[in-house]
Amino acid sequence: MRISRLYVTAALNVGSQISLDDDAAHYVRSVLRLKQDQQIVLFNGEGGEFSGRFSEVSRKSVRVAIEAFIDRDVESPLTVRLGMGISRGDRMDWAVQKAVELGVNHLTPLTTERCVIKFNDEKKQQRQQHWQHIIDHAAEQSGRTRPPVLGEISALSDWVSLQQGLKVFLDPYAEHCLADLQPENQQLTLLSGPEGGFSDQERGIAKAAGFIPVRMGARILRTETAVLAALSAVQSLWGDFR
């Protein structure tokens, strides 16, 4: 029988009990439909995971008794920071989910010239929370014990100036491909554009910040496909797909 995994923000210690927050408790009761005395695996992003058992599952409270620590690590040796131009609706959600599954360590949504979505402060907060939920659930499903960090929505011009290591951006008109390059100290920063790609000005900004344009084959890929293809390629070249 498959044992469910759950990401929590609480401190986890063998022999203790924790109460799940309202969202997690609702997920356990109404989605997973788990019962008292059933097993669960918990992780909080600090490394490893903990096996436990429900000591209470009720409308009032959901509590887990933590029984054992499992020293488990599935992280890639390649550290990947991803800046991703914001695209509409399901495209962005799908790309965020797959980026988690493919081992990204830090993900930042970026506003660009061709970004069709406009954000006020309230909408920014709502989208951040939405993407954080996608990240948490993707980490649960994929077996990761250290979910990637979600950066705040940033302007491309601000984000590129803060990056280090090997820096590349996806450009269907580039001369280089990823196999021509080599990451520095197993660290890579990847920049992917929105629907419609980068403007000429944004290409110039990225190059001025040290980003190298790379192509993903001879065909022009949709924004969500480009992210998936690039992350698969870098994990095959330098990560844990080898």
Same-domain check for residues 178 and 208: yes
| Range with lowest mean pLDDT among 100-104, 105-109, 121-125, 140-144 | 121-125
CATH code for position 182: 3.40.1280.10
Same-domain check for residues 18 and 93: no
Same-domain check for residues 34 and 109: no
Is the pLDDT assigned to residue 242 strictly greater than 90?
A: no
Q: Which tokens in the block code for residue 86?
A: 């914001």
Same-domain check for residues 170 and 94: yes
Whether 97 and 143 have beta carbons less than 8 Å apart is answered as no
Residue finishing a domain among 22, 52, 70: 70
Reduced DSSP (H G I as helix, E B as strand, rest coil) percent helix, strand, coil of the chain, to 5: 35, 25, 40
> 3-state DSSP call for residue 75?
coil
What is the pLDDT at residue 79? Answer: 96
Work out how many domains the chain is built from and give that number: 2
Same-domain check for residues 121 and 204: yes
Whether 209 and 163 have beta carbons less than 8 Å apart is answered as yes
Q: pLDDT grade, residue 74 (50/70/90)?
A: very high
Same-domain check for residues 23 and 105: no
Mean pLDDT of 158-174: 92
Mean pLDDT of 165-194: 92
Q: pLDDT grade, residue 1 (50/70/90)?
A: low
Same-domain check for residues 53 and 132: no
> 3-state DSSP call for residue 39?
strand
CATH code for position 54: 2.40.240.20
Kindly report the pTM of this predicted structure.
0.90
Mean pLDDT of 124-137: 93
Same-domain check for residues 219 and 173: yes
What is the pLDDT at residue 219? Answer: 86
Supply the range of the domain harboring residue 110. 79-238
Residue finishing a domain among 28, 50, 70: 70
- Rounded CA separation 48/42 (Å): 9
